[in-house]
Amino acid sequence: MNIQLYGFWRSLASFRVRVALKLKGLPFEEIPVDILSGEQFDPDYDAVNTERVVPTLVHGEHRVFQSLAIIEYLEDLMPEPTLLPSDPADRAYARSLALVTIADAHPLVTPRVRNHLVKMFGADANAIESWAKHWTIEGLATYERLLQRRPAEPFTLGQRVSVADICIAGQVVGAQFLKLDLAPFPAVARLAGHCFATPAFATSHPFEQSGYTAIAPR
């Protein structure tokens, strides 16, 4: 299976897809798109994904974008090991948890939103950082409440890792970029510990990617 992933080392959405590919044991080539310098707007990349965001998965003639759609595409291509439970209610629960970050928390801290806050409202670096911390904490707090209400070990749905764990781990990576304390979110921190103890998660972490630089979080 010839798979290419257009991604970026520090992109949380790219992290999600990287983990899914590794959990499924699918080899892939990652092609970097530097979203901090604006490479997502290059015409060559626009031809790949006209939403002008990463990630995009290229598989033969298919170009799949949006991390959840990509993960579900991979699930359809290679059902085992499954990342979505078969029980309908559990499947919906896993997707719901995934969307807390994909649809609600993460979009608020993307470069395009930060750049717009600077351009439209003159937000300075401190304001941007407070903004990013606020929405990242909101996401963590939601996950903490959810995990407290439906406790399971070691992963969100029990023994098998799922798309929910991938997304919660991504939210934790966002918190790490912002140097947030996870102590107020013990269930989230415990889950992330289990995730990052596995090679698929550990080797997908932005800090482990070749482009990683210890620059201030953006």
Judged by the rule CB under 6 A, the positions of this chain that interact with ligand GSH are: 11-13, 35, 40, 53-55, 66-67, 102, 110-112
What is the closest distance, in whole angstroms, from the C-beta atom of residue 151 to ligand GSH in the complex?
27
Give whichever of 173 and 195 is closer to ligand GSH, judged by the CB atom: 173
- Tell me how far, at minimum, the Cβ of 34 lies from ligand GSH, in Å: 10
Residue 49 CB, nearest approach to ligand GSH (Å):
9
* Contacts by residues 110-117 (CB-CB < 8 Å, ≥ 24 positions apart): 110/53, 111/35, 111/36, 111/218, 112/53, 114/218
Question: CB–CB of 173/15 below 8 Å?
Answer: yes
Contact of 9 with 209, CB cutoff 8 Å: yes
Q: Which is nearer to ligand GSH, 37 or 210 (CB)?
A: 37
Give me the least distance between CB of 148 and ligand GSH, in Å please.
26
Residue 199 burial by Cβ neighbours in a 10 Å radius (0-12, 13-18, 19+): exposed
Rounded (5°) CA angle 97-2-103 = 20
From the CB of 68, what's the least distance to ligand GSH, in Å?
Answer: 6
How far apart CA 160 and CA 75 sit, in angstroms, is 14
Q: H or E stretch including 68?
A: helix 67-77
Q: Which is nearer to ligand GSH, 64 or 187 (CB)?
A: 64
